[in-house]
Structure 1
Amino acid sequence: MNVQKLNVSDYRNFETASFSFDPDTIHILMGRNAQGKTNLIEAIYFLSHLRSWRTSKTPSLIRHGQELFRLEATIENKGRVESLKMIFSQGKKYLFRNDKPVQTFSNFVGILNAVLFSPDDLQIFSEPPKERRKFVDMELVKLSRSYTTRLGRFNKLLKERSAILKSFRVDDVLLSTITDQMIEEQAVLITQRYAFIQLLEEKARAVFPYFGEGREKLSIRYKTCVDPSLGMDEIKKQLTEAYQKTRLKDKQMKTTAVGIHKDDLEFYLNDKLVTQTASQGQKRSIVLALKIGLCQVIQAKTGQNPVLLLDDVFSELDETRRAGLIASLPEEIQIFITTAEPVSPSWFKRPVRFYTVDHGVMKEGIYDV
């Protein structure tokens, strides 16, 4: 997958700008802070996920004094060229694929599959479990339409169950019916989450030695309310038993104590929790291994590489880890890297294009910041 062209209008500090990019090439966006480097890769990320990773307030992305912003991209996917467009106006997102309206977010997200690393990702280890669930769900939604559908149904059922539990008199028959439906959806979702995490762990563990001396072992544990390694029938059985045990407590507390909405991930380095033992450099290396491993998962599942976005990736990396990062970057994948530090073409053994970004203007072929 490649972004061939990107057009932005009234987005952040860009009035109107158009960019063309080479396929399967590393693009280095250089410049001082607050010049617009990250804004460009944020635009690509937004077209992939329909959200920014930097703010939850989409109206703040509109250039000062304007009423809307527009993002457009021409992408190549498995030899097929498509156009994507997103207009944000008056609090709504209007989506177009090949100039035809797209009615639902789920039919747009992931058409352009982009994987991002940003320094904020290091918080994944210390954030609440919902952020780690969001990481898993966000990737599976892009990979599996069935996962998207089942997750939507589960969330709707969970709200219905909560409403029943909070009612003045609980309808036990309806409660049992909703719970049974939740079990059916969750058994599939748990199986899909477990398979994804297992594959991600395998790929990340293979990449991780690039960032150290090969003596550190990375592992990921999927924490859920049942044994996720069992077959579907056994998972359903364990879920049924779990809901039976917590039914009275759920009615007393008026909430659902068991389910995939409580899932979590634990990260281990040499069988010790990352949150308790890892240095900042080790955490950064783990996250980078996860993101590069994720690219490999996507390639394995779809037959197509995603676009890889690396924001401020060289900061706080020593020379060994920087060299390891460059060596670990997948071939035949389009990569965008932002940096405020000087970068030499000699670091790379593949096509690289350099740009400087200054006050929202991007120029090619300037190598010094």
Structure 2
Amino acid sequence: MNLQKLKLSDYRNFETASFSFEPDTIHIFRGKNAQGKTNLIEAIYFLSHLRSWRTSKTQSLIRHGQKTFLLEGTVENRGRLEKLRSVFSSGKKFLFRNDKPVRSFSDFVGILNAVLFSPDDLTLFSDSPKERRRMIDMELVKLSRSYTTVLSTYQKLLKERSAILKAYRPDRILLDTVTGQMIDAQTVLIAQRHAFVQLLEEKASKVFPAFSQGREQLAIRYKSPVDPTGDIRAQLKEAYDKSLNRDLQMKTTSVGIHKDDLEFSLNGKLITQTASQGQKRSVMLALKIGLCDVIREKTGQYPLLLLDDVFSELDHERRLGLIASLPKNSQIFITTAEPVSPAWFDQPVKFYTVDHGVMKEGIFDV
């Protein structure tokens, strides 16, 4: 997968700009802080996910004084060209694929598949379990249509079960019916989540030694209400039977995948308890590169890899480890405010300098 062209209009600090990018090449955006490097990465990410990771307010992405923004990308996906366009105006997203309106987000998201690393990702380890579940769901939604459908079904059933429990006299027959449907949905979802986490751990663990010189071992544990290697359906049935009286008393559903979590450890010790910032950054980078390998295995092609401010807080050895671990024959976009040497790379690299919303090809003093 490659992004051939990118067009921005009234997006962040870019008035109007158009860029062309070489396939299977590392593109490095250099420049001082607050010049627009991250805005370019963000624009690519938006075309992939229809949201920014930096703000929940899409309105704030519009250039100051304007009322709308436009993003447009030409994507090579499995040998076919896809033209994607997103226009945000009057608080709404208007989506077009090959110049035809798209009504459903699911028909747009993932056409341009992009994996992002940003310094903000390091909070994943200390955030609430909800954020770690969201990370799993976000990736599986792009990889599996069945997962998307079943997850939506489960979320609706969870709300329905909560409403039944909150009733003055809960309908026990209806409660049993909805609980049974939730068990059916979770049997599918837990199996897919477990398989995804296992594969992610396998891929990330192969990458991680490049950052730790082999001194540390990475492990990822998927925490679910049941043992995913056993009879999921039977275990869920038993868990709901045991929690029924408590759920009726507390008027909430205490068992289910909405309680799932991930644990990350190095040499058997939880990252949240012992890891330094450099170690956390290294683990997160290994996870992102490992995720690219998972997507490559599942879809037959690498996603775009977006690395924002990736070299800060990495010593020279870890920087070289990162570069050695980058997927070959894939398109990668990197932002940095620090000097980068072309000699570090053994694959095609193009350099750009970003200054006050203007990008020029070549290495300049910044």
TM-score normalised to the size of structure 2? 0.99
Q: Please tell me the residue identity of whatever aligns with 1:229.
A: T
Partner of 2:39: 39
* Structure 2 residue 104 is matched with structure 1 residue 107: no
Tell me how far apart the structure 2 counterparts of residues 115 and 71 of structure 1 sit (CA, whole Å). 18
Equivalences for residues 198-347 of structure 1 within 5 A: 198-230=198-230, 234-347=231-344
Query: Alignment partner of 1:9: what SS?
Result: strand
Deviation at 1:75, TM superposition (A): 0.3
Deviation at 1:108, TM superposition (A): 1.2
Q: Please name the residue that 1:180 is paired with.
A: 180
- Cα distance, 1:212 vs. partner? 1.4
Distance 1:187 1:350 in 2: 43
Q: Name the amino acid aligned to 1:186.
A: Q
- Secondary structure, aligned partner of 2:208: helix
Using the alignment, how far apart are the partners of 2:117 and 2:66 within structure 1?
30
Partner residue in 2 for 1:2: 2
Using the alignment, how far apart are the partners of 1:122 and 1:8 within structure 2?
A: 29
Quote the residue 1:192 is aligned against. Answer: 192
Code of the aligned partner of 1:299 = R
One-letter identity of the residue aligned with 1:178: V
What is the percent sequence identity of the aligned residues? 75
Deviates more, 1:55-64 or 1:303-312: 55-64
2:353 aligned partner: 356
1:343–1:367 contact (8 Å) kept in structure 2 = no
Residue 342 of structure 1 and its aligned partner are, at CA, apart by 1.1
Alpha-carbon offset, residue 106 of structure 1: 1.5
Measure how far apart 1:254 and its partner are.
1.1
The residue that corresponds to 1:25 in the other structure is 25
Task: Tell me the CA shift for residue 174 of structure 1.
Answer: 0.9
Task: Tell me, in whole angstroms, the C-alpha distance in 1 between the residues paired with 2:343 and 2:44.
Answer: 27
**Counterpart residue type for residue 170 of structure 2:** V
Instruction: Give the SS at the match of 1:214.
Output: coil
Return the letter of the residue paired with 1:39. N
- Take 1:325 and 1:368, find their aligned partners in 2: how far apart are those partners? 24
Q: CA deviation at 1:279?
A: 1.1
Q: How much has 1:67 moved relative to structure 2?
A: 1.3
After alignment, is 144-153 or 165-174 more displaced?
165-174
Q: CA deviation at 1:238?
A: 0.6
Look up the equivalent residue of 1:316 and give its one-letter code: E
CA contact 1:342–1:367 (8 Å) conserved in 2: no
Post-superposition shift, 1:209? 0.5
Q: Is the 8 A contact 1:8 1:17 kept in 2?
A: yes
Deviation at 1:306, TM superposition (A): 0.2
State how far apart, in whole Å, the 1-side matches of 2:85 and 2:169 are: 49
User: Which amino acid is 1:141 matched to?
Assistant: V
Offset of residue 165 of structure 1: 1.1
Letter in 2 for 1:336: F
- Cross-structure match for 2:139: 139
Q: Which amino acid aligns with 1:246?
A: S
Q: CA deviation at 1:215?
A: 2.1
* Partner Cα separation in structure 2 for residue 189 and residue 205 of structure 1: 24
Aligned to 2:81: 81
1:107-126 → structure 2 map (5 Å cutoff): 107-126=107-126
Q: Give secondary structure in 2 for the equivalent of 1:321.
A: helix
Deviation at 1:315, TM superposition (A): 0.3
1:239, 1:16 → 2: CA distance? Answer: 54
The Cα shift of 1:367 comes to 3.8
The residue that corresponds to 2:48 in the other structure is 48
Secondary structure at the counterpart of residue 169 of structure 2: coil
Q: Residues 6-63 of structure 1, C-alpha deviation per residue, up to 9 Å, x if partnerless?
A: 0111111111111110000000000011110000010110111111100011111111
Q: Which runs of 5+ in 1 are unaligned?
A: none
In the alignment, the residues of structure 1 paired with residue 142 and residue 107 of structure 2 have an alpha-carbon distance, to the nearest angstrom, of 10
Shift of 1:368: 2.9
Scaled by the length of structure 1, the TM-score of the pair is 0.98
How far is 1:103 from its partner?
1.2
What is the number of equivalent residue pairs in this alignment?
Answer: 366
Q: Deviations over 1:300-355 (max 9, x none)?
A: 00001000000000001000000000000010010000000111111111111110
SS in 2 for 1:169: coil
Root-mean-square deviation (CA, aligned residues, Å) is 0.8
Give me the whole-angstrom Cα distance separating, in 2, the residues matched to 1:90 and 1:181. Answer: 39
Q: Is the 8 A contact 1:343 1:368 kept in 2?
A: no
Native 8 Å contact 1:354 1:367 kept in 2: no
What does residue 67 of structure 1 align with? Answer: 67
Supply the distance in 2 between the matched residues of 1:266 and 1:350 (Cα, whole angstroms): 34
Q: Residue type of the partner of 1:198?
A: Q
